[in-house]
Amino acid sequence: MPEAACNPSRIEDLDPLALERQVCFALAVASRTVISVYRPVLEPLGLTHPQYLVMLALWGEQPLSVTDLSRLLDVDAGTLSRLLKRLEAADLIVRRRDPADERSLAVTLTSKGTSLRQQALKVPIEVVQRLGMSLDDLHAMHAQLTGVIAAAKLAAS
């Protein structure tokens, strides 16, 4: 009889449905846990993690159409619309009809949204410190996760 079959502590090595073996479980827990590290760092900026992602996109390029922003952040338009309303109420962004295409909403930063970037420069540094991981490890993990995302999108299509 194989050793693993006799050793109950090794059953998870044989069971393809063992929770600990599931990539989806590890990714879900990692996502929730890492986002919880961001929460206290973003709080002084008045941003939630999803709002921070919108701001990152706009600090990188603006104006962005709602459609482009939705695609860039990989979120549905309904979710994005609620985020944009909150950011607009906080005077961080404005949404206006694109003069080149009246059907499209262009999202731009306000001066307050633009100046918030300076404070946000501290976020990545503080998150890395809180995680206690090397930049090389984080960069390697990012590359692997980007590969997983691409493979999952391909599998889903």
Q: Where are the domains of the chain?
A: 46-116
What is the spatial distance between Cα 86 and Cα 92, in angstroms, rounded to a whole number? 9
Encoded tokens for 7: 């050793």
Comparing C-alpha atoms, which of 42, 62, 66 is closest to residue 52? Answer: 42
Of 50, 36, 46, 66, nearest to 115 (Cα)?
Answer: 46
Which CATH entry fits the domain spanning 46-116: 3.40.50.300, 3.50.50.60, 1.10.10.10, 3.90.1150.10? Answer: 1.10.10.10
Exposure of 40 by Cβ count < 10 A (0-12 exposed, 13-18 middle, 19+ buried)?
exposed
List the pLDDT tens digit at each of the 157 positions of the chain. Answer: 444 455 555 655 688 888 889 999 999 999 999 999 999 999 999 999 999 999 999 999 999 999 999 999 999 988 999 999 999 999 999 999 877 777 888 999 999 999 999 999 999 999 999 999 999 999 999 999 999 999 999 999 9
